[in-house]
Amino acid sequence: MGQNSYVDVRMDTAVIRIGEQVKLHLEVSYTTKESVQWPALSDTLNRHVEIVKDSGIDTTQASNGLMRQVRTLAITSFDSGFWAVPPFRFLVNGAPMETEALLLEVRTVPLDTALTLRGIHDIQVLPFSVQYWIRQHALWIVGGAALLAAIITMLYFLLRKKSPVQQRQAAQVMMPLHHRILAALSDLDKQRLWQQGDHKSYHSRLTDLLRGYIEERFRIPAMESTTDELVKELRISPLNGEQRMQLENMLRLADMVKFAKAVPSPQENERMMTEATRFVTETAQRPMSTDHA
């Protein structure tokens, strides 16, 4: 056992009233080469002093290089008198070390003998108070008001007249399919993407428009299909052989640009727009169709 090893115990106060609590601090200091075994503790120190709370053991390193373990017990007593806090026996590297015994004084609460005992009053019913009722039900009132405000707001947005933007969107939805796709192709052409060197965006957006047209026109999952899958699906579509070949050539060229980083010539880029426009125009449903698209 090291010469600097020690155990210590102290209380915050030695005098309490019945039922009050006092903190009992236990500490053991030892070298890093030593082991420490704490005494076993139950829920009482003796039949008059009880342990209310145990903080557990906290290990730290002191400034002098020693290790330190600290434990705090909250103790109390419900019997008046002078009660001994017995020594705590530690084993430091196998050698016993004991703390000193402490004395705890537990005092009673003084009574004023000049006061006379009085009987229990009858139960009194207080008159109804609006302010008290509101305080007691404030949470429900606030929650109900918030819910009512949310419902009113939702109804307002649902029932209010459509804005001009919504009306334009509705009109756009009612526009025939091939008109919408042709307008989108025209807008893409005006953006002059490939003229600015952005061939990939130009071909991606153009073929996305074609795939969206095919998906809505022929009810084929064109947006999720590869070029090979789409060409295979279109074999049983109303498209004739020339139209299928025309579409396949456009999709193959776009795949080369998107995935193989091919750079088409200006003539190929212009032909893509011309053939896409022609494909949509030739395959559009006629007004006599039931779809009216």
Per-residue pLDDT tens digits for 65-120: 789 999 999 999 999 999 999 999 999 988 999 999 999 999 998 766 666 667 77
CA torsion 250-253-255-258 (nearest 10°) is -120
Calpha distance 221→215 (Å, rounded)? 5
Nearest-angstrom CA–CA distance, 35 and 272 = 84
Q: Is the dihedral angle over the CA atoms 276, 281, 282, 288 positive or is it negative?
A: positive
**Per-residue pLDDT at 272:** 93
What letter does residue 224 receive in the DSSP assignment?
G
Please give the average pLDDT of every successive group of 10 residues along the chain, which has 293 residues.
81 94 95 91 92 93 85 95 94 92 91 69 82 87 91 87 57 78 94 93 94 91 91 88 91 92 92 93 70 42
Which sequence spans correspond to the domains of the chain? 6-107, 169-283
Q: Mean pLDDT across the chain, nearest whole number?
A: 87
CATH homologous superfamily for the domain 6-107: Immunoglobulins (2.60.40.10)
Only one residue has tokens 């600097």, namely: 4
pLDDT of residue 3: 66
Burial 136-155 (b: 16+ CB within 10 A, else e): eeeeeeeeeeeeeeeeeeee
Adjacency order of strands within the sheet including 89-92: 36-37, 89-92, 95-98
